[in-house]
Amino acid sequence: MPEGHSVHRIANQFQSNFVGSPVTVSSPQGRFAAGAAQLTGHAITDARAVGKQMFLEFDHGLWLRIHLGLYGAWDFTGEIRMDATAAAANGRMGQTNQRGTELDPPTFDVDGENSLSSIGAPRRSRVRMSEQEKEMGLKDFPPEPVGQVRVRLLAETVCADLRGPTACEVLHPAQVVTAMNRLGPDPELENTPEAEERFVSVVCKKTTPIGRLLMDQSVVSGIGNVYRAEMLFRAGLNPHASGKSLSVETARALWQDWAYLLHIGIATGQMMTMDGLEGAGYRRAMRSRADRHWVYKREGLPCRVCGTHIVLEEMSARKLYWCPRCQA
């Protein structure tokens, strides 16, 4: 399932390519025909990711809420402006098991080459964005809808097709507020002391294991299975420790680490969770998941720090990877 960084990247893609443009909205598959009729002909005025959900605002005040879930994906076609990382990777950038970019470690300067604001010239292309990203050949524009396209957003030179989402609905502004309020803070949107406090105060009073709290989208937005496992390892935390048993400092550090990792994920398109890699080591890690994670999908392999075998267990029906020694 796409974790927070993917959804932010998709929202950025909409910001770069759709905001300001009137769009023809349709539902080639038919299941979103009524929603499409409410939106078509209006311009998109905002694109926002909150955790794993995306909200598109239209100029008559209605919003489109999308949750990709396990199978959802967007295909962008046409004259697409891509950010530097997507362009450098030919759009083929993955999260868990795809080849990555070979960029040098990204800088986060506002005007830096790899910053999110540096968008390259439009290129005629077709890019799929879901849990992974890849670029495919484009012949005609707009392309014939292929398969079960729930929503098509068609602007003059760009087209976005959505397939397989878990949620896709038109909302009024008040409903958007309600939907957003149900979500825990997202550090990419608000990395503020207030947001941090909100996270810390909830975590520190729950008896729920921290391994579950991190995945609870009402506690904090955007963390999925990969980031959960990696963050707990980085913090040296036992996934079964209750939220209540953590010190305030530990909870704060988790929030800050999530803000840090999420920002790297958005900038590079990879869930890079190792620090201090340079040169060949960094390029290897960007290309291959096996080289960029501490514990995720490393069950049975020796811990990179202590040599103990990494354990795999189920927690709330999701796979959890951890080192029983480093995270005792």
Give whichever of 2 and 211 is closer to Zn ion, judged by the CB atom. Answer: 211
Q: How far apart are alpha carbons 266 and 268 in whole angstroms?
A: 6
52 is catalytic: yes
Q: Is the peptide bond before 324 cis (omega within 30 degrees of 0)?
A: no
The three state secondary structure string of 271-315 is CCCCCCCCHHHHHHHHHCHHHCCCCCCCECCECCCCCCEEEEEEE
Least gap, CB of 42 to Zn ion (angstroms): 53
User: Does the protein bind Zn ion through residue 205 (CB under 5 A)?
Assistant: no
Least gap, CB of 230 to Zn ion (angstroms): 13
User: Does the protein bind Zn ion through residue 325 (CB under 5 A)?
Assistant: yes
Q: How far apart are alpha carbons 239 and 53 in whole angstroms?
A: 25
Site string for Zn ion, 251-290 (x = CB under 5 A): ----------------------------------------
Instruction: Please tell me which residue in 9, 28, 48, 52 is annotated as part of the active site.
Output: 52
User: Does the protein bind Zn ion through residue 103 (CB under 5 A)?
Assistant: no
The pair phi, psi for residue 263, each rounded to 5°, is: -65, -40
User: Does the protein bind Zn ion through residue 305 (CB under 5 A)?
Assistant: yes
Q: Which of 49, 18, 10, 327 is nearest to 183 (CA)?
A: 49
Handedness of CA 49, 81, 278, 108 (dihedral sign): negative
User: Does the protein bind Zn ion through residue 1 (CB under 5 A)?
Assistant: no
User: Does the protein bind Zn ion through residue 229 (CB under 5 A)?
Assistant: no
Strands, E assignment, 90-146: 123-129, 133-136
With contact defined as beta carbons under 8 Å apart, do 162 and 154 qualify? no
Give whichever of 92 and 292 is closer to Zn ion, judged by the CB atom. Answer: 292
Residue number with the smallest Cβ distance to Zn ion: 303
User: Does the protein bind Zn ion through residue 302 (CB under 5 A)?
Assistant: no
Identified binder of Zn ion from the candidate list 303, 311, 321, 322, rule CB under 5 A: 303
Instruction: Please tell me which residue in 2, 106, 209, 239 is annotated as part of the active site.
Output: 2
319 is catalytic: no
65 is catalytic: no
3 is catalytic: yes
b/e code 148-165 from CB counts within 10 Å (16+ = b): ebbbbbbbeebbbbbbbb
Please choose, out of 79-87, 151-159, 221-229, 307-315, the segment that lies near Zn ion by the rule CB under 5 A.
307-315
Give Cα separations from 100 to 35, 104, 160, 288, 294 (angstroms).
36, 12, 23, 7, 17
The pair phi, psi for residue 8, each rounded to 5°, is: -60, -40
Please choose, out of 141-149, 157-165, 303-311, 313-321, the segment that lies near Zn ion by the rule CB under 5 A.
303-311
Give whichever of 161 and 230 is closer to Zn ion, judged by the CB atom. Answer: 230
Give catalytic residue positions: 2-3, 52, 318
Positions in the binding site for Zn ion (CB under 5 A) = 303, 305-306, 308, 323, 325-326
